[in-house]
Amino acid sequence: MPHCKICKTDFASFIDFGPMPIANAFLPSGEDDGYRFSMQVGFCPECYMVQLVEQPEPERMFHENYAYFSSISTVMQDHFEQFGSDVRGKLQGKDPFVVEVGSNDGIMLRHFADAGIRHLGIEPSSNVAEAARQRGVNTLCAFFDQDVGRRIRKEYGPVDAVIAANVFCHIPTMPAVIEGFAEMLSDEGVVVFEDPYLGDIVNKTSFDQIYDEHVFYYSVLSVSEMFSRHGFELVDVEPQDVHGGSMRYTLVRKGCRQPSSAVARYRKLERDLKLDVSATYGSFGSKVEAIGRDLTAQLTKFKAEGKRVAGYGATSKSTTVIHSFGLTPDLVEYISDTTPSKHDTLSPGGRIPVVPYERFQADPPDVALLFAWNHAKEIMAKEEAFTRAGGQWLLYVPEVRLLP
Ligand code: SAH
Ligand code: TMP
Ligand code: ZN
Q: Please check whether residue 277 is in contact with residue 271, taking contact to mean a CB–CB distance below 8 angstroms.
A: no
CB-based contact 168:216 (threshold 8 Å):
yes
Nearest atom, ligand 2, residue 73 CA: 20
Q: Is the CB of 209 under 6 A from ligand 1?
A: no
Which residues, in sequence order, are CB contacts of 208 under 8 Å at separation 6+?
315, 317, 318, 320, 321, 371, 396, 397
> Does ligand 1 lie within 6 Å of residue 143's CB atom?
yes
Backbone dihedral region for residue 158 (phi beyond 0: left; psi -120 to 50: alpha; all else: beta)? beta
What is the side-by-side order of every strand in the sheet holding 216-217? 13-20, 37-43, 50-52, 216-217
Which among 195, 257, 189, 254 is positioned nearest to 220, based on CA atoms? Answer: 195
Choosing from 338, 341, 395 the residue with most ligand 2 atoms within 8 A of its CB, the one to mutate for a pocket test is 338
* Residue of minimum CA distance from atom 12 in ligand 2: 313
- Other C-beta atoms lying within 10 Å of the C-beta of residue 310: 22
- 256-309 confidence digits (pLDDT tens): 999 999 999 999 999 999 999 999 999 999 999 999 999 999 999 999 999 999
Residue 197: exposure state from Cβ atoms within 10 A (0-12, 13-18, ≥19): buried
Rounded to an integer, what distance in angstroms lies between the CA atom of residue 107 and that of residue 69?
Answer: 9
Establish whether residue 101 lines the binding site of ligand 1, counting it when its CB lies within 6 angstroms of any ligand atom.
yes
Ligand 1 atom 8 nearest Cα: 70
Output the CA angle 32-33-39, nearest 5 degrees.
Answer: 95
Neighbours of ion ligand 3 (CB under 5 A): 4, 6-7, 9, 44, 46-47, 49
Nearest CA to ligand 1 atom 21: 143
What is the CB < 6 Å shell around ligand 2? Answer: 72-73, 313-317, 337-339, 357, 372, 374-375, 378-379, 382
Residue 26: CB within 6 Å of ligand 1?
no
Distance 101 CA to ligand 1 centre (A): 7
Are 402 and 394 in contact, with CB atoms under 8 Å apart? yes
- What is the rounded CA–CA span in Å between residue 87 and residue 160? 10
Out of 375, 379, 382, 383, mutate this one to test ligand 2's pocket (max ligand atoms within 8 Å of CB): namely 375
Query: Are 141 and 129 contacting, i.e. CB atoms less than 8 angstroms apart?
Result: yes
Q: Name residue 128's amino acid.
A: V
pTM of the model: 0.93
Q: Are 43 and 278 in contact (CB under 8 A)?
A: yes
Ligand 2 center to residue 144 CA distance, Å? 26
CB 121 less than 6 A from any atom of ligand 1: no
pLDDT at 351: 86
User: Can you tell me the distance from the alpha carbon of 281 to that of 208, in angstroms, rounded to the nearest whole number?
Assistant: 15
For the chain, which ranges sit under pLDDT 50?
none
Q: How far is CA 186 from CA 13, 70, 179, 284, 303, in A?
A: 39, 29, 13, 41, 60
The one-letter amino acid at 97: F
Which residue from 123, 127, 243 has its CB within 8 A of the most atoms of ligand 1, so it is best to mutate? 123
- Helix axes 174-184 and 146-156, enclosed angle (nearest 10): 10
* 215 Cβ closer than 6 Å to some ligand 1 atom: no
* CA 228 to centroid of ligand 1, rounded, Å: 23
Kindly report whether the peptide bond that precedes residue 398 is cis, defined as omega within 30 degrees of 0: yes
Q: What pLDDT score was predicted for residue 93?
A: 83
Please tell me the predicted confidence (pLDDT) of residue 58: 86
Nearest one of 205, 391, 197 to 292, comparing CA atoms: 205
Dihedral sign for Cα atoms in the order 20, 21, 24, 28: negative
DSSP three-state, residue 250: strand
Amino acid 299: pLDDT: 98
Any idea which ligand is nearest the CA of 80?
1
> Cα-flanking dihedrals φ and ψ of residue 44, to 5°?
-95, 120
Instruction: Evaluate: CB of 139 within 6 angstroms of ligand 1.
Output: no
Question: What are the DSSP calls for 332-376, one per residue?
Answer: S--EEES-GGGTTEE-TTT-SEEEEHHHHHHS--SEEEETTGGGH
Residue 11 alpha carbon to ligand 3 centre in Å: 8
Ligand 1 close to Cβ of residue 166 (< 6 A): yes
